[in-house]
Chains A and B, each alone.
Chain A
Amino acid sequence: MATDSVRSMELAQWQAHQAGEDRRRRFLRSLPAYVLLGTFSASAILTFIWALIMSLRPNRELFTYGAWALPKVWAWQNYVDAWRQMRVGRYFLNTVLYSGVGTIGAVIIAACTAYVLARVKFRGRNLIYYLFLISLMIPGYLALVPRYFLMRNIGLVDTYVVIFLLAWTGGLSFNMFLLINFFETLPTELEEAAFIDGGNAWWIFWRVMFPLARPGIATIAIFTFMGQWNEFMIPLIYLRDPAKYPLALGLQILSFNATYSATHTKLFAGMIIFMVPILVMYLILKDRITEGLTVGAIKG
């Protein structure tokens, strides 16, 4: 009896030892993976922390103590100066406006178009479907000049409207094809039931189908918003008046001018203001973003 329990204890110890050995071996084998992943993750996090620290240093410290030093004086004033003097506040509000109106419009237009093409049968539907498909195959630069003159001729250069219009039409085909696929997964019985209950077409779409398509619509909305928030080329081409610049364009021009005026650390403050809303959004919606990305990117 006694020897038995001793033996089973020894066995348990031996098993525990083996398990520990296994764990150690597994750890050693995955060590290179952790080192590599850790290095890259650290480069991402530390770059952000470094930018945060830079944004809180007085500009003259940058040249006396170099890029690695911590602030001797914490210059919270950088954010105030960036927001007011450097017009980052203005750029921020413009960016909110462009991203907000751009995203809402783009989503509604894509959803309405997609629904009709997915569910309504009429002559010429296939033709229209293929017309929308064409623009997915043409690189964007071909129409650069003709589109600019189209906008210039109707007097839209340097207006808010041109930014909205290009946000609504820019990703239209792509968003629409994603949503067509989404609508096609929903059963037609839903519409039939809503119709029998006396719903008209308008009601069927807004009250039944649009809410059901919410997961697809949310994905499109998130990616359109992030794309619009960071959009650079369209404002660069179409806007003249600095009061209308979004953050991406305003800060790019400021950073170019900073070579001559000593405002580097204030610019870091501006860049932090630029990136924080997207960062917060990313941290809140990260699962949806990382999943949606793969739906969006695999377009064949």
Chain B
Amino acid sequence: MLQKELRKLIWPFLVPSLILYLVIGLWPNIEAFYWALTDYDGIAPRQTYVGLRNFQYMMNDDRWWGAVSNTLYFAVGTVFTLLPFGLLFAVLIMSVRRGHGFFKTTVYFPSILSLVIVAFLWVFILDPTIGLLNEALKALGLVDPLKRLLGVTALNWLGHPKLAKPSIIVVQLWSALGFYALLFMAGLAKIPAEMYDAAKIDGAAGWSLFRHVTWPLLFPTTQTVLLLLIINGLQTFTLIYALGGGGISPLTQVMATYIYRTAFTDRRFGYATALAALLMVIVMAFTLASRELTKREVVQY
């Protein structure tokens, strides 16, 4: 009886959102596989079917492969910085006796900011002439030693081929550290205190406590964080776009910004969709690979 009454909700509640989802959410994804095989400038009455020509062109598109390699650099770079630092900050915030709430609030603060703001602030921090960082280094007399150490002629953080990518990884670290630390903290909070007590009775402390209790029990969280880092890293757009201002140099161009530019600046909509299809394949391949590589017995407790 109740079910019969509730079924009245199918039309007003489910059907409209299902139609919206099918038309706006799902259908364009399916249509994309046809778009990838066409050529279109956005002006002609309709697309021209070109078969696999977009994919042939892609093979020799050096700027695209430059963007692919930059994206992989950033994705790997963020995995190797955000994963360990996220975990470290989570452990530290959980372990301090005072200021737990304060650190949690302030460490997450950069993550609530729009990436447009993050980029704007860091452009001013890293500006070679009037930037906060270089002015501070100048005052401390560290400019020349640092130049020598890094082997560069000017500390142009976002413009120098040697410095641009590592600088962007630092910006990403600043902006996302709080988010990943919080994820790790949620995982840590789920580990029952008895596990620690039992291990302490067995004589574990410090590093061995972390190594033999925290790390294995936290592993499902680590897997999730790794997956999120890879998926987000491969699709990064706003930060790179906003840091680039008007034009993104080939030094920092990533797949997503190159796809956007191919479509909406160069007006090669079919080719852009072919590139997006490859991006999808890369994301899925990395997702599967990270699942496979981190597959292991989940510790039950």
Chain A residues with a Cβ under 8 A of chain B? 26, 30, 33-34, 36-37, 40-41, 43-45, 47-48, 50-51, 54, 62-63, 66-68, 109, 112-113, 115-117, 119-122, 128, 131-132, 134-135, 138-150, 165-166, 168-169, 172-173, 191-192, 195, 200-202, 204-205, 226, 229-230, 232-233, 236-237, 247-248, 251-252, 255-256, 259, 264, 267, 271, 274-275, 278-279, 282-283, 286, 289-290, 293-294, 297-298, 300
Contact = CB atoms under 8 A, between A and B. Distances in A.
B29 A298 contact: no
B156 to A, nearest CB: 15
Q: Name the residue among A36, A48, A145, A252 with the largest chain B CB count within 10 angstroms.
A: A145
A232 B28 contact: no
A172 B25 contact: yes
Given A33-B92, A37-B92, A51-B121, A117 B130 contact: no
Which 10 interchain pairs have the tightest Cβ spacing? A294-B186, A143-B28, A230-B114, A146-B28, A112-B13, A41-B106, A147-B28, A146-B31, A141-B276, A116-B14
Contacts of B185: 294
Interface residues of B, number: 98
Contact of A278 (B10, B108, B112, B125): B112
B182 A109 contact: no
B209 interface: no
Given A138-B29, A165-B20, A282-B109, A252 B116 contact: yes
A191 B4 CA distance: 13
Contacts of A143: 28-29, 31-32
Contact of B17 (A34, A112, A146, A297): A112
Interface stretch (B157-165, B196-204, B277-285): B277-285
B280 to A, nearest CB: 5
A134 B26 contact: yes
B13 A116 contact: yes
B257 to A, nearest CB: 10
Interface string B69-110: 000000000000000000011001101110100111111111
Nearest to B3: A121
Given A37-B92, A67-B132, A147-B28, A274 B2 contact: no
B174 interface: yes
A296 B14 CA distance: 23
Contact of B29 (A26, A116, A135, A165): A135
11 contacts: A109-B16, A113-B13, A116-B13, A120-B7, A120-B10, A121-B3, A141-B255, A145-B270, A145-B276, A274-B114, A298-B221
